[in-house]
Structures are given as structure tokens and as C-alpha cells.
Amino acid sequence: MDLISPRPWHALLATEAIALLGTDPQVGLTSAEAKRRLALVGPNIITGQAGPSAFERLLGQVRHPLIYILVVAGAITALLPGHGVDAVVIFGVVAANVAVGYVQETSAQAAISALSRLVAVRATVVREGQPTRVDAADLVPGDLVRLEAGDGVPADLRLLQVRELHADESSLTGESVPVAKEVGPLPENTQPADRRNMAYSGTTITAGRGTGLVVSTGESTEIGRISHLIATATKVETPLTRRLARFSVGLSWVITGVADRLRAAASALDSIPFASERGYMATLHDLPAEGRVIYAKGSAERVLALAERTVGPDGEEEPLDPERARTLVDELAARGLRVLAFARKQATQEEVLHPEQLARGLVYLGLQAMLDPPRPEAVRAVATARQAGIAVKMVTGDHALTARAIAAEMGLGDGQVETWTGRDLAAVSDDALPAIVERAQVFARVTPEQKLRLVRALQARDRVVAMTGDGVNDAPALKQADIGIAMGVTGTEVAKQAAEMVLTDDNFASIEAAVEEGRAVYDNLRKFITWTLPTNGGEALLVLTAIALGLTMPILPVQILWVNLTTSVVLGIPLAFEPKEPDLMLRPPRDPAEPILTPDLVLRTGYVSVLILLAAYGLFFLDLSTRGRLAEARTIATNTVVLAEIGYLFSSRSLCGATGLVGIAANPWAALGVLAMVALQVAFTYTPLLQTLFQTAPIPSLSWLAVVGVATLVYAVVELEKWWRRRLAACPLW
């Protein structure tokens, strides 16, 4: 039996394909045979292209305009007489930057590799006559795989049975419309895009259900072949970059473990799968006492619309009173219960089930009402989100009264929940819809197209929209939303692929926690920018002022390199570890179009830069005029800049709130950074080696007191400005 050589599977009869792969069409493979084949053909995975080597990562750190400038500057400096030490320092800074970048990119690549190992697509396979869920990597040629709407196709399959089966093959063929599948053989020269009797790895099932025979796995699949061509034709680079022009929460957790669906679909002869536009599912059974019977279940409105009779107390059929049934449905739904209706119909001897058979003549059997109360943590999360200025809306396929009751429990709306149904929305124009969506809290019994309209309507008002969903019908809206969030436990593969984020616990509280975490990350990024711009601005002003006025340079270029290298790492990075501020989730949402450099931030950057300029120049000229030692005066100026940055660091730990000494314990990394920076400056000032490299000299104790006083002054001035802003009840630096 040849399991590896490619064959024109689409040109073979289904029975021929089964025979060639030695599979029982009812029982499938045995576990022992599957294990033997797995050892023969290998796991069903596509080996990814190897990442850059250690040398390539190291070389990539050198390919940067700033590094080019420093290297050229170092080379020119080395050629100048008497500047050998300066050249060594410049090249040392280059080496330090390259080393830091290399370590960061190596860590990032390791994290990405670890995340990719978490991806484990699952598939429903029939082995020894029983359907079971296995990792797609364990599939082998000859396995029988069952497919349902929302599943990702785990390998190349020759379809054996289909029931309204449609697949989205855009990732493979570029076909934008889902393709209807069939089982008959096709001409051998049929191209992959037209092979309707095949389902290819990497595509997704959008509707219906079916069964397929695994014919190719891993590198032998169509997508594996394409992946190999891509790997040999191009080289994908993954440079580690950070863009400060915008903040993106790009954390995507891709998980698996889709819950097994309850199956009725063993005595069922045929079935009509559930579809949101249909509103029900149906199965065909051959019962000993009743013969062939069709059973249907679905939304109460849809099933009742198809039913003509019901079963009375004595078990006999009688005319249906639809209004009485709908009243009961409304009563149950108003209590927050999810309601399903059940019906049946005697069938003919036809083995194929068609939706047309249910268009009339159904016998209504009764209702099932289920209580699914909101999680307490979800209720608290909704309240927190609303406090943060986030409008929470419910978009559901539930009955309108059920959705309204649940929304009231969740705290949506202020005592009154405005609810719109899909039928109501169908009569609303696109121009009028944004105002309705902005105002209402609940949208019930909506179609996939209407979910998409709702998202677009909110975006038309410049809202940032996060959409949650789990089914195939949610995929268009998930893709359209600014942030698509799929359910990781109950979500289909289609929903996960359309989303940017995946919830590992299907809990709304996780979304609220992600918003809070995202705000904290952005807040700390703003703190770092607010700190680093004025400090670098002060250094730049020192140089520009000396050049413009023809004054003695208070700080040498190598000393500025020292300050930038040490403070950005030792003082700046600890700001990323600042804890969340208590009022973080009480602040209003930030305008997404707002730039990082707001007028208030520009103002603070300006006056802090001027403070550093005046302090450094003042102490520099004071020491130079009294002692006349240039190296000593420059050392004082350099320490003034660093200590001023330390003072400003403490103030920058909160952009608007007061930051006293009591706050040091909240972020021990900041305290450690300050201690490390002080130690470095002492070494910079008194260590002979560093004195030689950076042309520094020891300074007296009184000069240290002046330097510390300047740092305290910078801290006090910024705290005074923040106090004034709080008094005005405005904190636009947020």
C-alpha cells in the first residue's frame, strides 16, 4: 500500500480511493494501524521556514541608520589626532546597542516560537467505528474525518459524503465565495480550484457537514507544496521594531480545544444542519413503531411558523393555537430563559431530507427553556467597562425578550434597555442606523449581514469597535471590527481566523481585564515618552546653545553618549513596570486620532528641557569661574543632567497624580534603577578608567549638594504644574 506517492484523487471514485488506502468506510482505521501509518508518513504538520541564525540576527542589529552614523563618526574620530579614547567610547556605545538589540530580538523570536507550539488544531476522526477528537498532527492517509460548519480542514480530503457542504478556499485558490462541494469523480486535468470533491488543508467549512477521506498530510498537501515554494523563493525577515506613532494591542492568543458537539445527526439517516438564516435544524429517523419521522428544533418563532398542528394532552394531534404558544414563549423569554421549540413530521420512504419537506405540516411538540445566568464576574466587568466610558451592547440570536432580560441583569442601560430585532433593523436605512446603534443596548435575532451593518454603523461615528463572536455567522463582523475577539473554547475555527484576539476562557471579564491592561501599557508608554523627550531635549539644548552663542561646551559628545546609554536603560525601562494607577478605569476613552505629542506634552517637554539647560549651564559656569577646572565643571554639568533626569523620573511616574516618596515601594524597579544610576555616576566621576575614557574629574561634596538641589527643584516644579492641573479639574496629559 503506497501512502506517500501523489495520485489524482479527485479523478477516482470514492470507493476506489477507499480501497487504495485500505480503509473501512464505516469503521475507519484502527488505532494500531493509525499509529503504524503515522510512523511511516510522519506527523501532519508543515515544517516552517527556519528563522534567522544567530549571526543573521546580530548582523541585523547593525543595519540601522543610527548605527551607520555612529560607526562613521567613530571612524572619523579615530583618524583625528588625540581622539583615540573618544573613538573607543563611540564604538563601545555601538557594541552596547547591538548587544541589547540582539538580546531583545532573540527573546522575541523565542517567545514567538513558544507561542506557535501552542497551536494544535483538532479534528473529528472515525477510528474503530467511534468518532473521536484528535490533534490534526496525528492524522494519517486513510483516516475518516467528519466536517461541520466552522471547522478548519485538517488535511487534504477526498470527500465521501456531503450535506449542503460549503468551504471557504480563498486562502488556497483566491476564490472569494464559498464553494459548494460534491462527491462525484472529476476529470483528471481539473485544477485545484475546481475540484469540488476535495477539501484542502488550510481551508474552512462555512456551512453544512460531510465526511472526507484523508489522502495527503503535512508537506504532501496542496498548502504544504505552496509553503515549500514560498520558502524556496523568498526569505521572510522579522525585524523587531517599535512604532511610537500609535499603540496597538497585538496580543493574540491562539488556542484550541473546541468543545465536542452533542450528536443525536446514531439512528439518524439524514440531517439538515443548523443555519442562522434558516433558524432550525432537522434529522431523519427510522423508528420501529412510527416509521420514518423528521424531528426539528430551533428558534420558537421559526418552528412555530412552520407548524400547523400540535399534540394534545391525550397524545392525539389537534389544531395548533400559535398565539397561545407564542405567549408562553414570551413569558419564558421575559424571565431570561433561552427557548427552543421542537416539532416532528411523518416522512415518506425517501432517504434524502430537504428543507422543502418542512415548509408545512409540522406537528408542534413543545418548548425547552434553559437558564444561563450571567457570570457574576461578567456583571462586574460590564459595570467597570461602563465606568471607563466603554459602551457595551448585546448582539445575539436570542429571543428579544430573553436578550432584554439578560441585558438588564448585566447592567446594560440605566433602568431601561432599548431593544431592536433583526426584523426592525431590516426596515432601517443606513443613514438612520448609526443613531439607533449608538442609543440602543440590545439587538436580538439578527443575521450575519445585520451584525456587519451594526459594526459599520458604529465605525461611521468614529467609534473603535470590539466585536465578540464564536460562530461562522459572526466571522464577517469580527473581521470588520477594529478588534475582533473570538471565543477560544466554543469558537469555531472560522471565527478564530477572522478575529485578532482569542479568549481562552470565553469570559467577558477577560475583555475588561485586557482593556485595563492595555490602558496600563499605554499609560506607561506615555510616561516613558513624557520622561525621555524633555531629558533628551535638555541635552540637545546644551549643545545647540553652546554652538549658537559660541560658548564653551558644558558636556562633551562622549559624555552625552554615556548619559543616553545609561539613563535610557537604567532609568527609562523601569517606567514600563509602573503599577496600574487606581483611577485607570475611571478615565474616559482616549480619542484614537489624538497624537502622542499633545500640546500639553509639548509644553512640559519645553519647560523641563529649559530647566535642565539652565541648571547644567548655571552649575557649569559657577564651578568654572570659581575653580577654573574645565574637566571638573563638565563632570558637574553631566551629573546635573543625570540627577535632574532622576528628579523628573519620580514626577513622571504619574502623569497627573502626586508622586511622593511613599510611591517608591510601588515600583521597586524604579528604586533599583535610581540606585544603579547613582552608583554609575559615582564610578563615572571617581573611577580612573572612566575618567580617562570620558574626560571626567572628581568633584567636591558641596557640588554634589548643588546637583541634588537641582534635581529636587525639577521634581518640585513639575509636581506644582500637576497640582495646578488637578485644581483646574483637567488632566489632558492622559
Instruction: For 461-542, list the strands marked E by DSSP.
Output: 466-469, 483-487, 501-503
For 23, which DSSP code? -
Which residue(s) pair with 471 in the sheet?
Answer: none
Residue 239's pLDDT band (cuts 50, 70, 90): very low
Among residues 371, 398, 423, the one where a domain terminates is: 371
State the number of CA atoms in the 13 A half-sphere of 299 facing the CB: 19
Which domain, by its residues, includes 641?
Answer: 513-727
Residues 519 and 564 in one domain: yes
Among residues 472, 505, 538, the one where a domain terminates is: 505
Give 385-419 pLDDT, tens digit per residue.
888 888 999 888 778 888 888 888 888 877 688 99
Residues 500 and 520 in one domain: no
Residues 346 and 411 in one domain: no
Task: Report how far residue 529's alpha carbon sits from residue 534's, in angstroms, rounded to the nearest whole number.
Answer: 9
361 belongs to a structural domain = yes
Residues 435 and 580 in one domain: no
Give 475-497 pLDDT, tens digit per residue.
888 889 999 999 887 777 778 88
Give 613-669 pLDDT, tens digit per residue.
999 999 999 998 888 899 999 999 999 999 999 999 888 888 777 775 446 667 888
Residues 365 and 308 in one domain: yes
419 belongs to a structural domain = yes
Residues 458 and 494 in one domain: yes
Active-site option among 260, 321, 430, 505: 260
Residues 635 and 545 in one domain: yes
What is the CATH number for 611? 1.20.1110.10
Which residue(s) pair with 145 in the sheet?
Answer: 125, 212
Residues 352 and 393 in one domain: no
Residues 642 and 529 in one domain: yes
Residues 327 and 462 in one domain: no
117 belongs to a structural domain = no
Residue 254's pLDDT band (cuts 50, 70, 90): very low
297 belongs to a structural domain = yes
261 belongs to a structural domain = no
242 belongs to a structural domain = no
519 belongs to a structural domain = yes
Measured in whole angstroms, the distance separating CA 705 from the mean position of its chain's CA atoms is: 50
What is the CATH number for 487? 3.40.50.1000
> What is the model's pLDDT at position 245?
33
- Work out how many domains the chain is built from and give that number: 3
Residues 563 and 615 in one domain: yes
pTM over 0.85: no
Residue 360 phi, psi (nearest 5): -160, 160
Query: What are the percentages of helix, strand and coil residues in the chain, rounded to 5?
Result: 50, 15, 35
Three-class secondary structure assignment of 522-586: HHHHHHHHHHHHHHHHHHHHHHHHHHHHCCCCCCCHHHHHHHHHHHHHHHHHHHHHCCCCCCHHH
Task: Report how far residue 431's alpha carbon sits from residue 457's, in angstroms, rounded to the nearest whole number.
Answer: 9
Residues 631 and 567 in one domain: yes
- Write the DSSP assignment of 72-136 as a string of letters: HHHHHHHHSTT-HHHHHHHHHHHHHHHHHHHHHHHHHHHHHHHHHTT---EEEEEETTEEEEEEG
Q: Is the pLDDT of residue 48 over 60?
A: no
Among residues 311, 344, 371, the one where a domain terminates is: 371
| Other CB atoms within 10 A of residue 359 CB | 9
434 belongs to a structural domain = yes
Instruction: For 404-553, list the strands marked E by DSSP.
Output: 419-421, 442-444, 466-469, 483-487, 501-503
> What is the model's pLDDT at position 275?
74
What is the CATH number for 353? 3.40.1110.10
430 is catalytic: no
Residue linked to cell 571617581: 686
